[in-house]
Amino acid sequence: MSIDPHGGTLVDRLLTGDALEAAKTRAKSLPTLKIDTYAAFDVDCIAKGIFSPLTGFMGEAQVKSVMDNMEVRPGVPWAIPILLAASKAEADGFEIGGEVALEDDEGDIAAILTLSEKFDVDRTALVEKVYRTTSDEHPGVAYTLGMGEVFLAGDLDVLKARSIEHQDHNLTPTQTRAEFEKKGWKRIVAFQTRNPIHRAHEYLTKCALEMCDGLLIHPLMGTTKSDDIPGDVRMACYESIIEHYYHEDHTMLSLMPVNMRYAGPREAVMHAIIRRNYGCTHIIIGRDHAGVGKFYGTYDAHEVFNEIDADALGITPIFFDHSFFCKACGNMGSIKTCPHGNEDHVFLSGTKVRDMLQAGEMPPGEFTRPEVAKILIEWATA
């Protein structure tokens, strides 16, 4: 028996058949709003049930409930508002109760919004509660403060399923649930990542897998920061390390086409909810999950789950401390398992690793597998 989706129903807003053809015809006569890549990914997430139970973009009451209570409705946890914005001039041309065609960044009509509400909220309060900072050096804050003056709410009818690179790995929640059923997995742990898997990641994923039937390596492939490693490079790294170091009967790779919001603790909650919708029963929450810069404490993303009703969340977070290779132990470990001091621990910062890669130097085997290092060196020195 698979885990229930968040809110009880797996949403599907993708039109097909006659309904799709009718919507395409109707869209030609509707006022149009051009949306960016970020909003287009959110439309896709709503369409495929990744954001279940959302059926469209949030209204003012939902946004305030999420801000203040971390609930989209009573008893249903939610941590980050899902917003669609327009300029005041654009919004003035849309009627409440009417329909708006949403033209995506690829020039296609991706969806029709049935407009239920036009509103705004205190943007400073919004970013302070969601991102725990008002600094525009935070990418999520900068994006949110730069959105149009008016938020638009309403249900979506979606005409287009968005495709991304490595589309064969871009499984919907319905598809991952079917795969888990086929494999006979009952306890499935998800691993969230936006970086190549290094030895510490490998260690904690395998520790979690010892408690579960299957591991879903689920890299985020929506919009990310410009200095993050490109998706195609990361995919090559994932495929290589899975081929050489993970058991094929207990490991699955699928992509998560969701925007990276860098919201730290609140995003950790969102990542848990999303993985529940994909059919996972557990999720790995590491140190500084979904963090950026120095905006969050090392374990803020662990502590936030104390504010969420575990039964309502419906998926079990597995918390991990900082992991490393210990020369004295001759093995991977963490501050919970290793008794030795920092002088025996192999720590490499992201900056140090990038410097090594750009110089064509192989990072030590204690940090990353050689197959992964080779891919990264070829990318960094190209």
Q: Are 33 and 86 a contacting pair, CB within 8 Å?
A: yes
Closest by Cα among 245, 47, 57 to 162? 47
DSSP class of 191: E
Amino acid identity for residue 33 in this structure: L
Strand partners, 118: 152
DSSP 31-86: -EEE--HHHHHHHHHHHTTTTTT--EE--HHHHHHHHHHSEEETTEE--S----EE
* Residue in this structure with the two tokens 């309502």, named with its chain if needed: 312
Catalytically active residues, by annotation: 194-195
* Residue in this structure with the two tokens 């979904």, named with its chain if needed: 290
Nearest-10 crossing angle of helices 350-358, 370-380: 70
Q: Is the dihedral of CA 342, 343, 344, 349 positive or negative?
A: positive
What is the Cα gyration radius of the chain? 21
Rounded Cα gap, residues 352 and 363, in angstroms: 9
Q: Are 191 and 212 a contacting pair, CB within 8 Å?
A: no
* Residue in this structure with the two tokens 């890669």, named with its chain if needed: 357
Residue 92 burial (CB < 10 Å; 0-12/13-18/19+)?
exposed
Rounded Cα gap, residues 277 and 54, in angstroms: 12
How far is Cα of residue 358 from the mean position of the Cα atoms in its chain? 28
Closest by Cα among 254, 180, 252 to 215? 252
Amino acid identity for residue 119 in this structure: F
Closest by Cα among 143, 234, 140, 164 to 194? 234
